[in-house]
Chain A
Amino acid sequence: MANFLQLLVYGFQLGSIYALLAIGYSMVFGIIKMINMAHCDFLMMGCYIVYFLVTVVFGGAELIGPAVALLIILLGSSAIGMVGVGIERVAYRPLRKRPTIMCMISAIGVSIFTQNLFRALPFIGPTPRYFPVLIEDFTVNVGPVGISFTRIITIILAIIIMLILWYVIENTKIGMQMRAVSNDKDAASLMGVNINRVISATFFIGAFLAAVSGTFYATAYPVVQPTMAVALGNKAFIAAVVGGIGDIRGAVLGGFVIGITEILITSVWSAIAYGFCFLVLIIILLFKPEGLLGKPMTEKV
């Protein structure tokens, strides 16, 4: 029994990381109905920026305290947010009138470009780097189970971000504009909403969140490589769909569901764990095609 509880805890820890990244996928899809395949690369870029800021500018993680570390994370993530806005303007805005699958192809092109650019640049290079320890990790023992401190922070962070975003989208003006654009882009623009600004803001938030989640991901799995986030991106994307894409609460729920499923199946038959998660996705979608928390899409004739 204690074993099972410990596995559940591991599942929560893994799920929290999926949840953080899935929020970004969900937001972008909710607003412009497009699956951003390059979202995982924002995570990778966030990791690299924080890595370089800490090691090159500050000379290593031992010299900086938690406050400075937080500042670096926020600064780096804002930079990646701007990169996200830039990518949207260059690669996705011209294709807005086209079917959304063209944006998906464009995203695939962006993904190939950024991953290989980071690998080809000599000072970044292909060598896997060890992410500096920004938060001292220790294990909190609650009864028979041990939980890692950084993971507790990640779980709390995922929930806090979800609540903040929920508040922003429900109660602020920019949130209302986002909801309007996601409901009907053309009607919203007729009502005086600046579509370009709203979409840019969405990408900024999405990329910012991806970079922040990247920092926490790298604290848990400290190998930084240009291809580090591809598999994570796929899993987070499934998590967003399972929870109901377009809905932030769904993204968080889906993240935890996928994380727990993966850990539990790994302990039973680890060889099929990766494929089994996809099977879970398929079964959930077959019974509830919009995802667990999604709203059914009605088609009027």
Chain B
Amino acid sequence: MSLIKRNIEYPIFVLIFLVFTLLNRFGVLNDYVMQVVQLACIYIIMTESLNILNGMTGLSSLGQAGFMSVGAYVSAMITTTFINVNAMNPVMQVVMFIVVTLIGAIVACVVGVLIGMPAMRLRGDYLAIVTLGFCEVIRTIWRVVPARIAGAAFGLTGIPKLANFFWCYLFMLLAIYACRNFMDSSYGRACLAIRDNEIAADTMGINCFKHKTIAFATSAFIAGIAGSLYAHLLVYIHPDVFSYAKSSDFLVYLYAGGVGSISGAMLGALALTVLPEILRFLGNWRLVIYGMLLLIIILFRPTGMFGGREFAFLKLKTGGIKTFHFSTFTHWVKGLFRRKEKEAATAK
């Protein structure tokens, strides 16, 4: 009981889930809304994974779609090509779903480490380009794998629809709490230090290589889970779905919501997934207005819609918004000028 009293948000999560499910059952919220909400949950998970890399460790990554595709394809291949899950009874289906999601996430994690290890020497924008390159290389691999196994140009059809609102919601909550715990742990604090000033962190004895690898691994793992959910929700995946455009979508969600904060990532993903659907009444001009709104959000609220603050229920002890610089060189120059001004002031 005291557990509930201390963490009042747990019953609230259950309540939100029940409200959504009941409203859907009684027809107030139709399946279209639920589809968009489930998609938003998956994108929230993806944006959280990007937040671990970008917001917490300062590693700009344009390759999240690649990790997502690894999770999606590996889990879908198992349930569709290798084992016929549709023939099993419902309990076994649930077990299989959890198992393939974990397998997909672990494979994505391995890929993430393999990609991260050589790429870590690079700074800032170069890292973004290399991760973009890896994303496209993975996409080419899925195109070349024979069609019998992974569908290639035809895409993988007939994936059993094992993901529903419960799983999307549950994994979203688990992902948010995983990110929260990561941020509050010693790993997370090391990553924040690396983000702020890598050389200083190195000087203080933080093993940058090890922590960056951990960040890549965690981020890829979470992205793999989201990929598996995506495949089993949409029951059809195609290599072109996981392209560079999708990676840049996640980047936009993260920055529009407020980089570095878990709640910001959540809100950015939710708002920008729902926005194009709301704008459907505009017909041909839908994406034009969407682009304009995006520009307005970035120009008038550069710290993101949520401004880098966190929800209270996350009970974070570290974190919060810091504008971080890709190039510590400019940071150093700014610091140099500030000191010079102070010296000039005191000299007078």
Please report the C-alpha to C-alpha distance between residue A238 and residue B126 in the assembled complex, in whole angstroms: 10
Interface window among B73-81, B100-108, B139-147, B206-214: B139-147
Task: Determine the chain B residues whose CB is within 8 A of the CB of A187 once the complex forms.
Answer: 333
B133 touches A238 (CB 8 A): yes
Given contacts A98-B323, A99-B323, A299-B329, contact A271 B299 (CB under 8 A): no
Task: Determine the chain B residues whose CB is within 8 A of the CB of A289 once the complex forms.
Answer: 121-123, 126
Task: Determine the chain B residues whose CB is within 8 A of the CB of A163 once the complex forms.
Answer: none
Hey, which bits of chain B sit against chain A, CB under 8 A?
A: 60, 118-119, 121-123, 125-126, 128-130, 132-134, 136-137, 139-141, 143-144, 199-200, 203, 244, 248, 251-252, 255-256, 284-285, 287-288, 290-292, 294-295, 298-299, 302, 323-330, 332-334, 337
CB < 8 Å neighbour of A285 from B122, B244, B256, B324 = B122
Task: Determine the chain A residues whose CB is within 8 A of the CB of B302 once the complex forms.
Answer: 94-95, 98, 102
Is A64 located at the chain interface by the 8 A CB criterion? no
Please report the C-alpha to C-alpha distance between residue A234 and residue B324 in the assembled complex, in whole angstroms: 26
B133 touches A113 (CB 8 A): no
A102 touches B255 (CB 8 A): yes
CB < 8 Å neighbour of B144 from A109, A271, A282, A285 = A271
A108 touches B248 (CB 8 A): yes
B332 touches A300 (CB 8 A): yes
The number of A-B residue pairs with CB atoms under 8 Å apart is 140
A272 touches B133 (CB 8 A): no
A285 touches B129 (CB 8 A): yes
Please report the C-alpha to C-alpha distance between residue A106 and residue B248 in the assembled complex, in whole angstroms: 12
In the complex, which residue of chain A has the Cβ closest to the Cβ of B244?
Answer: A234
Task: Determine the chain B residues whose CB is within 8 A of the CB of A144 once the complex forms.
Answer: none
Please report the C-alpha to C-alpha distance between residue A296 and residue B133 in the assembled complex, in whole angstroms: 21
Chain A to chain B: the 6 pairs with minimum beta-carbon distance, closest first:
A275-B140, A113-B291, A112-B291, A278-B133, A109-B294, A116-B287
CB < 8 Å neighbour of B299 from A33, A35, A91 = A91
B137 touches A186 (CB 8 A): no
A186 touches B326 (CB 8 A): no
> What is the CB-to-nearest-CB distance from A221 to chain B, in angstroms, rounded to a whole number?
21
12 pairs across A/B with beta carbons < 8 Å?
A: A102-B298, A113-B292, A116-B288, A117-B288, A117-B291, A238-B133, A271-B144, A278-B132, A278-B136, A278-B137, A282-B134, A285-B130
Interface size on A, residues (CB 8 A): 51
> What is the CB-to-nearest-CB distance from A150 to chain B, in angstroms, rounded to a whole number?
29
B255 touches A109 (CB 8 A): no
B140 touches A95 (CB 8 A): no
B118 touches A299 (CB 8 A): no
B326 touches A101 (CB 8 A): yes
Given contacts A94-B299, A110-B291, contact A271 B137 (CB under 8 A): no
Hey, which bits of chain A sit against chain B, CB under 8 A?
A: 29, 33, 35, 37, 91, 94-95, 98-102, 104-106, 108-114, 116-117, 119-120, 184, 186-187, 234, 237-238, 241, 245, 271-272, 274-276, 278-279, 281-282, 285-286, 289-290, 297, 299-301
CB < 8 Å neighbour of A106 from B144, B284, B295 = B295
Task: Determine the chain A residues whose CB is within 8 A of the CB of B252 once the complex forms.
Answer: 105, 108-109
B329 touches A297 (CB 8 A): yes
Task: Determine the chain B residues whose CB is within 8 A of the CB of A113 once the complex forms.
Answer: 288, 291-292, 294-295
Given contacts A94-B299, A99-B326, A272-B140, contact A120 B285 (CB under 8 A): yes
Task: Determine the chain A residues whose CB is within 8 A of the CB of B294 once the complex forms.
Answer: 105, 108-109, 112-113
Task: Determine the chain A residues whose CB is within 8 A of the CB of B328 once the complex forms.
Answer: 299
Please report the C-alpha to C-alpha distance between residue A192 and residue B222 in the assembled complex, in whole angstroms: 50
In the complex, which residue of chain B has the Cβ closest to the Cβ of A186?
Answer: B337
Please report the C-alpha to C-alpha distance between residue A33 and residue B122 in the assembled complex, in whole angstroms: 16
B299 touches A297 (CB 8 A): no
Task: Determine the chain A residues whose CB is within 8 A of the CB of B133 once the complex forms.
Answer: 238, 278-279, 281-282
B143 touches A271 (CB 8 A): yes
B333 touches A109 (CB 8 A): no
Please report the C-alpha to C-alpha distance between residue A33 and residue B256 in the assembled complex, in whole angstroms: 21
> What is the CB-to-nearest-CB distance from B49 to chain A, in angstroms, rounded to a whole number?
17
A35 touches B295 (CB 8 A): no
A116 touches B291 (CB 8 A): yes
> What is the CB-to-nearest-CB distance from A254 to chain B, in angstroms, rounded to a whole number?
12
A106 touches B130 (CB 8 A): no
B287 touches A286 (CB 8 A): no
Task: Determine the chain A residues whose CB is within 8 A of the CB of B291 once the complex forms.
Answer: 109-114, 116-117
B284 touches A120 (CB 8 A): yes
CB < 8 Å neighbour of B333 from A112, A184, A297 = A184
B140 touches A186 (CB 8 A): no
Task: Determine the chain A residues whose CB is within 8 A of the CB of B244 once the complex forms.
Answer: 234
Task: Determine the chain A residues whose CB is within 8 A of the CB of B325 once the complex forms.
Answer: 99
B130 touches A282 (CB 8 A): yes
